[in-house]
Structure 1
Amino acid sequence: MTVYGALDIGGTKIAGALVDNAGTLLVRAQRPTPAQRSAGELMAAVTSVLDELALHPMWDELTCLGIASAGPVDTAAGTVSPVNIPAWRRFPLTARVAAHPRLPLGLRPVLVGDAVAMTAAEHWLGAARGFENALCMVVSTGVGGGLVLGGRLHTGRTGNAGHIGHITVNLDGSLCPCGAPGCVEGFASGTAIAAHAQAAGWSAPAGVAPTAAAVADAARAGNPYARAAYERAAQALAAAIAATAALVELDLVVIGGGVAQAGDTLFAPLRRRMADYAVLDFTRGLPVVPALLALDAGLIGAAAVASSQAGVASSQAPVASSQAGVPALSSGPRP
């Protein structure tokens, strides 16, 4: 059995896993992300996850380690500047992880954006498998995306291609933490959905945190403010997806992440709104489907991309572009 390591770092959680060459998680560890704390405290949480994984007997069989991180990232420099983690700006994450004392000698971690990792996973084992041109999105604390074009994972020069969350959909919208006005993320992230519902008049039941999941529960129960918050998110997503489809032509859109767990509360208005924006012949009727790998897609995708760069065997591996220092992945097991 070939064993890959993976980290998935987002605004809500820091997860790690050991993954085999069929994409199965052998062991998983997780910590909350101290997103508003210092850079050192954030790194301590990452180290704690690695420490826990290192206790597993398969750790010593590790052949590579992939890191999926909220972005923007710079895969060539090994640095991250997540919009929703203020203390990390050009933070040398790859070097810090490489310095972990239990990491096998000579093993260099491979950095990838979290949404690109999710895309690699869904193209390998999930909803985008077999599709030549797909947009895969993570809608969670933030909104990210990745592209498969011509059957190959398209990462871009710095590893940020497909970052759909920072497409402007409202020219007069509020400034996003990234600095631009009216970004998709400001309408469709879980944080934005909860904030909009609360501002409109919705409040969470006693003892329930005011999250996007709570808003979804209220929407299903018929609360008009909660339903309007998801309608607003769906409209922003539809506008951005249609623009992307017009630019590169797509066969499929896959949406995962915590907000996607709302199911038809999100997908029904999104598919309806797509008809308003995807009006050109080559964009009309574009399928929009839920991700199949749920919340582990980032881990699986990070492992897949790292395995390709390390040149180790994988079963029915995904396909990546050669941009940003990431070599092409084979479409089958390596010899």
Structure 2
Amino acid sequence: MQTDLSAALDIGGTKIAGALVDARGRLVERAARPTPADKDGATVMRAVAEVVAELAAGPGWARVTAVGIGSAGPVDASSGTVSPVNIPGWRDFPLVAGVRALVGERPVVLVGDGVAMTAAEHWQGAARGHANALCMVVSTGVGGGLVLNGRLHTGPTGNAGHIGHISVEVDGDACPCGSRGCVERIASGPNIARRALANGWRPGPDGDTSAAAVAAAAHAGDPVAVRSFERAARALAAGIAATATLVEIDIAVIGGGVAGAGEVLFAPLRAALRDYATLSFVRDLTVVPAQMGTDAGVVGAAAAAGQRPRPDACVPAP
């Protein structure tokens, strides 16, 4: 017997990915387009329409019962609009209305990309079986989402859990969001690299100044690179501990490009967490790498759309 599917869209500054996802989280069809370089609003929406059209042309489309969108933010699920920082042409862009015009009567659900990643990790990944979790994407920016009491907690606009803009340094550097000392301003990939360069780290012959290059240097023992990652780890630890203290999560899952640094990030992060998560009810908090990889956006968008039975329920670990 054929089962229902969800259509899922993962919209970011470099790629627009789409998939049809079954009730077990498997991707049965895929489509993708580069996000147009000029980032003009109408042009980007045409790319979204091409992804949907490719999925709709496949044999599984007739089984699609719901559509989920995970988008770079800010998003506003209450109005169905998005204003992604990395897509300048979309400001208060009516994305849900645009997608609904493409998919007919099917319900459309919008969440931020951090929330989508959280839904994926809770359904099929590292947070599976945990009723209270924080999942984070640490990359060009820092985003996140929450699972509370076994339910994906999106908040009224779809942005709950956006840990990147918790202030962990009250007199810290100004953040583009308007605040100061945000986790993202310290722990995102570009800021890890910026700090390393400012403190004397120099790239190799290839001139690569990315966070990945700083991570490679840290693995090789470069002290400036190590310190830049240690500072990022402390910022992440402070934000995670603050979140755990507020809502009593028991696991934090970290994905994204910066998490690819491995123990260069996770070892100092776990050490710093012992300094910040000191109350009895947060001392057992664990931090682990994400498992879902590049499919997290579409799998999470499908989960948020309610494809799986009891879509917000905690799925027991096998």
Q: TM-score, normalised by structure 2?
A: 0.90
Matched, 1:291 2:293: no
The DSSP-based 3-state class of the residue aligned with 1:57 is coil
Aligned partner of 2:258 in structure 1 is: 259
What is the Cα deviation at residue 55 of structure 1?
4.2
Letter in 2 for 1:184: V
Residue by residue over 1:175-214, the C-alpha shift from the partner in whole angstroms, topping out at 9 and shown as x without a partner, is 2221111111111112222222233333443446432222
Rounded to whole Å, the distance in 1 between the matches of 2:85 and 2:7 is 25
Quote the offset at 1:300 in angstroms.
0.6
In structure 1, the gaps of 5 or more residues are: 320-328
Aligned to 1:223: 222
- Which residue is equivalent to 1:66? 68
Relative to structure 1, the CA distance from residue 193 to residue 50 in structure 2 (aligned partners, 3 Å threshold; closer, same or farther) is farther
Partner SS, residue 90 of structure 2: coil
1:324 aligned partner: none
Partner of 1:15: 17
Question: Does residue 142 in structure 1 map to residue 145 in structure 2?
Answer: no
CA distance in 2, matches of 1:79, 1:168: 26
C-alpha spacing 1:144/1:213, structure 2 compared with 1 (3 Å): same
Deviation by residue 1:54-107 (Cα, 9 ceiling, x = unmatched)? 44332343222110012221112101122343332211111122233xx3x312
SS in structure 2 at match of 1:99:
helix
**Is the deviation greater in 174-183 or in 82-91?**
82-91
Equivalences, count: 314
Which structure 2 segments of 5+ residues have no match? none
Secondary structure at 1:18's aligned position in 2? strand
Per the alignment, residue 154 of structure 1 pairs with: 153
1:258·1:295 contact (CA, 8 Å) conserved in 2?
no
The equivalent residue for 2:55 is 53
Could you say if the C-alpha distance between residues 106 and 209 of structure 1 is closer, same or farther in structure 2, counting changes exceeding 3 Å? farther
- Equivalent residue, structure 1, for 2:166: 167
- Distance between the aligned counterparts of 1:52 and 1:224, measured in 2? 49
Q: 2:146 touches 2:161 (CA, 8 Å); kept in 1?
A: yes
Which residue number in structure 1 is paired with residue 83 of structure 2? Answer: 81
- RMSD, matched Cα: 2.3
Alpha-carbon distance in 2 for matches of 1:216, 1:233: 12
Letter in 1 for 2:152: L
Please say if residues 128 and 134 of structure 1, whose CA atoms lie closer than 8 Å, have aligned partners that are also in contact: yes
Q: 1:224 and 1:36 mapped to 2: Cα distance?
A: 39
- Once residues 184 and 34 of structure 1 are traced to their aligned partners in structure 2, the CA distance between those partners, rounded to angstroms, is 29
State whether residues 145 and 162 of structure 2, in contact with CA within 8 Å, keep that contact through their aligned partners in structure 1: yes
After TM superposition, the structure 1 = structure 2 runs for residues 1-335 of structure 1, keeping only pairs within 5 Å, are 1-34=3-36, 37-100=39-102, 103=103, 105-207=104-206, 209-306=208-305, 308=306, 314=308, 318-319=311-312
Distance 2:222 2:55 in 1: 43
Residue of structure 2 equivalent to 1:322: none
Structure 1 residues 330 and 139: CA distance shift in structure 2, 3 A: closer
Distance change in 2, residues 1:156/1:245 (3 Å): same
